[in-house]
Structure 1
Amino acid sequence: MLIIRILLITLSLTLSLLGSNAFAQDINLQPKYGVQPKNDAQKAADEKFLANIDSYYKGDRKKAAADVATRGWQFLRQGNAPDAMKRFNQAWLLDSSNGNALWGMAAFEAGSGKLNESLTLFAEADRIIGDDIDFSVDYAKLLGVIGAQTRNKAMLNDAFTRFARIHEKAPQHTLNLQNWAIMLFYAGNFAEAWKKIKLAEATPRHAELDPRFLTALQNKMPRP
């Protein structure tokens, strides 16, 4: 499943360095703290954290959540997934309506192969930050991945519709065009996939195109 691996959100996850049992037990590394009751020590830690944040941000928890979520994304891009999830959870604790925190959790879950869990978080975030182009690109990509894996035509069609809608709003978005091409490849429509790649190659960020995918497409159908 080379194409599916290409489609997965690229995260240099360090989860393999954590014991699987330790990961399961550490609620800080689970979206929304695992959605389970906390013990007294954990509650006390939350109270201390919130008190410190309220003091620093003068009670503006939405601003605090936005800053903490941003830090989470910085960690994620650096390949530090555990610290990223801790920040996303803290941002969610501060403001459960913070879409960037939910998006970050969704990216984390997708990167660790938990696609259905990721999809649930994406759907929740979509109601909050669905107008964000980069978020929309990630969400459409995940729908395409799951649709391809499960042979769910409705989900695949939803992904294709989203790719087209994003392209109307952001025609120069390289990765959206690549994701669109990859899903067309998976559907066996190689000629259309090449059309999307040619559009992507004309965008400013064309260097971001995945050479592995281009090779796979070339092997199926030589460049027109």
Structure 2
Amino acid sequence: MKEILSFSQLVIGSFVVMLVPFWAEAQTMQFVSSNRPADTSTKSSTEATTVVKNLHLMPLFGETSKSIEHIEFEINFLSECDQNFTNRAEASQFFSARGWEYLQEGDLDTACYRFNLAYLLDNKNSDCFWGLGVVCFQKGHLTDAERMLRKGADIDSTNVGLLVDLATVDLIHFKETKENWELIEAEQILKRASKLDSASANVYLKLSVLEFHKGNYDAAWANLHKTRLLDIELLDYEFMRELLAKKCDPQGIFSTQN
């Protein structure tokens, strides 16, 4: 087994924040977190060069029994964090922020490890589960992504970005499985998100997709136009073509000629 990264390797060094989102183009099933702003903390993290092929690279450390080596690692890691941060909640936020930065770079394994460390420090930090959900999604593990995001939403049911990402996975699952409960949950989540933030273009875009799957094409168009008015760059023209194939734009703004 390769050596587990030490605390100093994890937090000391230089890091250049990537300003370009990992997902370059807006698409209907794009996660809110793809446009998450970079962390502005003055603390820095290392460019980890050692890839640890073990449970550290699995969400929540694989959710399995811990080896003696892993327990010793946790004790030492937590002890060093206690010496370097005001409290464990602060340390957890630091490591989850590093996770998002690695996610934006496309380094899913290192991002997963950082989110795991954040979880170890504070298992009530919803950011850990949100980040792990995105990691799972990017790796194509939709069931795990949905489970992680749901854990995060259970902790923080007011995080609109997290809620929209969970609804996004529900909608993707519905498209694949046609299981109606996925659509029901997505609708409940998106209605809550719209009440929390009535100016979120992404909420209305996902509501448009939801209504499309329900066969309510007028409602799908209404929500798509709300998206357009709030953030035209978020429009997904592939989805729009699918909607146009079902029903013409009632407002006449979009057509197959556009």
User: Which amino acid in the other structure matches residue 222 of structure 1?
Assistant: C
Is the CA contact (8 Å cut-off) linking 1:11 and 1:76 kept in structure 2? no
Q: What 5-or-longer segments of structure 2 have no aligned partner?
A: 1-26, 35-50, 251-258
In the TM superposition, what is the alpha-carbon distance from 1:8 to its structure 2 partner?
6.0
User: Which amino acid in the other structure matches residue 125 of structure 2?
Assistant: N
Deviations 1:132-151 (A, max 9, x none): 11111112222222233222
Question: Equivalences for 1:179-190 in 2 at 5 Å?
Answer: 179-190=206-217
Aligned counterpart for 1:101 among listed residues 128, 136, 139: 128
Is the CA contact (8 Å cut-off) linking 1:148 and 1:156 kept in structure 2? no
User: Which amino acid in the other structure matches residue 129 of structure 1?
Assistant: D
TM-score of the superposed pair, with normalisation by structure 2: 0.71
Which residue in 1 is equivalent to 2:80? 52
In the TM superposition, what is the alpha-carbon distance from 1:11 to its structure 2 partner?
9.1
Q: Counterpart of 2:224 in 1: which secondary structure?
A: helix
Aligned counterpart for 2:195 among listed residues 157, 165, 168: 168
- Cα distance in structure 1, aligned partners of 2:144 and 2:196: 28
- Cα distance in structure 1, aligned partners of 2:163 and 2:220: 20
| 1:87 matches 2:103 | no
Aligned counterpart for 2:96 among listed residues 41, 62, 69: 69
Is the CA contact (8 Å cut-off) linking 1:6 and 1:213 kept in structure 2? yes
Q: Counterpart of 1:7 in 2: which secondary structure?
A: coil
In the TM superposition, what is the alpha-carbon distance from 1:86 to its structure 2 partner?
0.9
Is the CA contact (8 Å cut-off) linking 2:92 and 2:122 kept in structure 1? yes
Is the CA contact (8 Å cut-off) linking 1:69 and 1:87 kept in structure 2? yes
Question: Equivalences for 1:90-169 in 2 at 5 Å?
Answer: 90-169=117-196
Aligned counterpart for 1:220 among listed residues 235, 241, 246: 246
TM-score of the superposed pair, with normalisation by structure 1: 0.81
Quote the sequence identity (%).
Answer: 23
In the TM superposition, what is the alpha-carbon distance from 1:43 to its structure 2 partner?
3.5
Larger deviation: 89-98 or 143-152? 143-152
- Cα distance in structure 1, aligned partners of 2:31 and 2:139: 9
Structure ID, larger Rg: 2
Aligned counterpart for 1:7 among listed residues 21, 29, 40: 29
User: Which amino acid in the other structure matches residue 200 of structure 2?
Assistant: H
User: Which amino acid in the other structure matches residue 212 of structure 1?
Assistant: E
User: Which amino acid in the other structure matches residue 168 of structure 2?
Assistant: K
Question: By percentage of residues, which structure has more helix?
Answer: 1
Is the CA contact (8 Å cut-off) linking 2:133 and 2:146 kept in structure 1? yes
User: Which amino acid in the other structure matches residue 132 of structure 2?
Assistant: M
Question: Equivalences for 1:187-206 in 2 at 5 Å?
Answer: 187-203=214-230, 205-206=231-232
Aligned length: 208
Is the CA contact (8 Å cut-off) linking 2:146 and 2:169 kept in structure 1? yes
